[in-house]
């Protein structure tokens, strides 16, 4: 049975429990100061001597000499209240094959200290209807923790070494959740990760099914995160980290998601992202992040068909992937820095903020208005400037060389800008756009000088290389040094250079061969 089937079965089981238990209704009671045992289901442990076990019941816990409480049969209550007199922490445990259901208010903790609910080795805690986990510590060792209907994990601290399921419209709220190895967590129906802080170790699974959403959660994982169906990423911050030599660590997989793909707030870390044929759109939370892992086509695991002619290939880490191409779109006002060697083959679209490529992408790249492509890496494809900004090096001003293995084109009707940073005359002090194919030039050329560096008349700076070229740039703010100097662009057959001339006339002594070059 797969993960989704197991979780769906659990939901049906809990629905049955809620239906059956709602038939009975007992009175509310308080845990005795001197209980005869730790058994919740023993009447003598309560005042009055009636076990809270009904959908209208409130189990009250105050001052006592017995804080270790456990169930001996399935139990449902409207809520559990810890009073201000509960100055010693309780632990309420649910053992194998038993279920504790909170179907009303949930947990109310007025004690001022941490109170503990625990489900172990097949035990189950279910929050239903509008129940809240409040600020409880919930631990699960091979147990089941479930939130259904409109319930919420609220501000709970959850330590999971079993399974957690959010279903219907339930939410993880603002909980802090730690998934230890091995464990699994799933969001189904229209449930939400809220603004929870979720941390997962290796050998863990986090799955989003149906129309569930990661919302504004922060998710850090050494395991695997998968988005299926029509689930959404919201503005979630996702960090995936490899844990070598664990083979399935630090994976984000959207390959089984419905087309066209998914939007996330941001991605970071050094893991692996698998796109399938989908588009991953990132940047919705406007943060600056760095991803030093790799983005791939295909999926992390692909069932091998019996037909030997079916196409599948093995990528570097041994995962199987189909030959469909995924895409990446950068949105928002933040900066995403790619430091790894990315092998996805669909398009890269920079629609907002900054995409800084310091590694490589095997993709055609398009830069739109109000967006910037920067970096000192490689675009293994064609680059089109559709009204955006190309800034080799760091967008903060550090020069660098951005290599394009294909062609470079500036769209005529929405001409963009090429920004060149200069910090000196050494090669590593000059921004360079290195185009290995044809460069169709156009748009604006803007020079950004590092503080303290003032080029002198006659100095030249090669800023673009190409195999061939057409068109020319239009200089923006070409006059500098208190109006005494200005820039001129000299175009050669395989490169173009910025030359410093007097602002009064073109300097014929520029240090370039005028027989081979032409000026703008």
Across residues 210-233, what is the average pLDDT?
Answer: 98
DSSP per-residue string spanning 162-228: EEEEE-TT-B-TT-EEEEPSSEEEEE-TT-B-TT-EEEE-SSEEEEE-TT-B-TT-EEEESSEEEE-
Tell me the whole-structure pTM to 2 decimals: 0.88
For residue 26, what pLDDT is reported? 41
Q: Which of 378, 352, 195, 210 minimizes the C-alpha distance to 281? A: 352
The number of angstroms, rounded, from the C-alpha of 146 to the middle of its chain's C-alpha atoms is 24
Per-residue three-class SS string for 430-470: ECEEEECCEEECCCEEEEEECCCCCCCCCCEEEEEECCEEE
Please count the CA atoms within 13 angstroms of the CA of 347 that sit on its side-chain side: 11
Residue 20 has what DSSP assignment? H
- pLDDT tens, 74-87? 999 999 999 999 99
Which residue did the predictor score with more confidence, 465 or 243?
465
Across residues 507-511, what is the average pLDDT?
Answer: 40
Residue 308 pLDDT > 80: no
- pLDDT tens, 403-415? 999 999 998 777 8
The helix (H) or strand (E) run that includes residue 17 is helix 3-21
Across residues 460-487, what is the average pLDDT?
Answer: 95
Which residue did the predictor score with more confidence, 13 or 174?
174
For residue 27, what pLDDT is reported? 58
For residue 300, what pLDDT is reported? 79
Between the two ends of the chain, the Cα-to-Cα distance in Å is 70
Instruction: Give the angle subtended at the CA of 303 by the CAs of 302 and 304, to the nearest 5°.
Output: 105
For residue 301, what pLDDT is reported? 62
pLDDT band at 159 (very low <50, low <70, confident <90, very high): very high
pLDDT band at 342 (very low <50, low <70, confident <90, very high): very high
Take residue 420 and report the two structure tokens written for it.
């060149």
Take residue 166 and report the two structure tokens written for it.
């959010």
The answer to which of 244-248, 398-402, 467-471, 476-480 has the lowest mean pLDDT is: 244-248
The number of angstroms, rounded, from the C-alpha of 176 to the middle of its chain's C-alpha atoms is 17
For residue 18, what pLDDT is reported? 40
Take residue 187 and report the two structure tokens written for it.
């969001």
The number of angstroms, rounded, from the C-alpha of 330 to the middle of its chain's C-alpha atoms is 13
For residue 517, what pLDDT is reported? 39
The answer to which of 44-58, 128-142, 309-323, 448-462 has the lowest mean pLDDT is: 309-323
Residue 168 pLDDT > 50: yes
Question: What percent of the chain lies above the pLDDT cut of 90?
Answer: 83
Question: What percent of the chain lies above the pLDDT cut of 70?
Answer: 87
3-class DSSP state of 338: strand
3-class DSSP state of 373: strand
The mean predicted confidence, pLDDT, of the chain is 89
The span from the CA of 347 to the CA of 386, in Å, is: 14
- pLDDT tens, 86-124? 999 999 999 999 999 999 999 999 999 999 999 999 999
For residue 324, what pLDDT is reported? 58
* Cα radius of gyration (the chain): 31
The span from the CA of 193 to the CA of 214, in Å, is: 5
pLDDT band at 507 (very low <50, low <70, confident <90, very high): very low
Residue 267 pLDDT > 90: yes
For residue 247, what pLDDT is reported? 72
Place of tokens 């602002």: 503
Please count the CA atoms within 13 angstroms of the CA of 407 that sit on its side-chain side: 11
Take residue 153 and report the two structure tokens written for it.
């994990």
Exposure string for 285-324, b = 16+ CB within 10 A, e = fewer: bebebbbbbbbbbbbbbbeeeeeeeeeeeebeeebebbeb
pLDDT band at 273 (very low <50, low <70, confident <90, very high): very high
Phi and psi, residue 143, nearest 5°: -110, 180
pLDDT band at 20 (very low <50, low <70, confident <90, very high): very low
């Amino acid at each position: 049975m797969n993960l989704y089937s197991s979780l769906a079965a659990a939901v049906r089981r809990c629905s049955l429990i809620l239906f059956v238990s709602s038939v009975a209704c007992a009175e509310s009671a308080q845990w005795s100061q001197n209980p005869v045992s730790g058994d919740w289901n023993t009447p003598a442990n309560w005042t009055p001597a009636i076990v809270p076990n009904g959908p209208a019941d409130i189990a009250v816990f105050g001052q006592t000499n017995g804080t270790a409480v456990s169930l001996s049969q399935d139990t449902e209550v409207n809520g559990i209240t810890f009073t201000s007199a509960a100055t010693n922490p309780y632990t309420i445990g649910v053992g194998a094959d038993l279920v504790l259901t909170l179907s009303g208010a949930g947990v109310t903790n007025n004690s001022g200290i941490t109170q503990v609910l625990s489900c172990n080795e097949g035990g189950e805690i279910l929050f239903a209807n509008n129940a809240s986990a409040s600020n409880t510590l919930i631990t699960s060792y091979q147990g089941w923790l479930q939130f259904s209907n409109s319930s919420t994990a609220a501000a709970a601290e959850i330590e999971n070494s079993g399974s957690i399921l959010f279903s219907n419209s339930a939410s993880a709220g603002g909980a802090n959740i730690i998934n230890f190895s091995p464990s699994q967590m799933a969001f189904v129906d229209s449930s939400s990760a809220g603004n929870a802080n979720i941390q997962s170790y290796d050998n863990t699974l986090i799955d989003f099914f149906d129309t569930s959403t990661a919302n504004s959660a922060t998710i850090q994982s050494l395991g695997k995160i998968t988005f299926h169906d029509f689930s959404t990423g919201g503005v979630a911050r996702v960090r995936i980290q490899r844990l070598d030599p664990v083979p399935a660590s630090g994976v984000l997989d959207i390959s089984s998601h419905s087309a066209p793909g998914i939007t996330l707030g941001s991605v970071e870390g050094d893991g692996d992202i698998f796109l399938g044929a989908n588009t991953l759109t990132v940047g919705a939370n406007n943060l600056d992040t760095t991803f030093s892992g790799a983005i791939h086509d295909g999926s992390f695991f692909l069932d091998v068909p019996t037909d030997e002619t079916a196409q599948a290939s093995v990528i570097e880490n041994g995962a199987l992937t189909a030959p469909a191409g995924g895409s990446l779109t950068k949105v928002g006002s933040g900066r995403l820095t790619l430091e790894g060697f990315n092998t996805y083959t669909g398009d890269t679209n920079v629609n907002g903020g900054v995409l800084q490529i310091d590694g490589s992408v095997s993709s055609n790249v398009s830069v739109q208005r109000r967006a910037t492509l920067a970096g000192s890496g490689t675009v293994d494809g064609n680059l089109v400037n559709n009204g955006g900004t190309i800034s080799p090096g760091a967008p903060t001003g550090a020069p660098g060389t951005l290599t394009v293995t294909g062609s470079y084109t500036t769209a005529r009707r929405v001409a963009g800008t090429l920004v060149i940073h200069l910090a000196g005359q050494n090669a590593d002090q000059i921004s360079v756009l290195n185009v290995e194919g044809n460069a169709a030039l156009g748009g604006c050329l803007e020079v950004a000088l590092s503080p303290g560096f003032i080029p002198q008349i006659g100095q030249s700076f090669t800023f673009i290389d190409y195999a061939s070229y057409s068109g020319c740039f239009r200089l923006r703010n070409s006059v500098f040094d208190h109006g005494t100097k200005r820039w001129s662009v000299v175009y050669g057959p395989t490169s173009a250079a910025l030359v410093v001339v007097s602002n009064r006339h073109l300097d014929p002594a520029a240090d370039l061969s005028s027989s081979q070059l032409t000026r703008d």
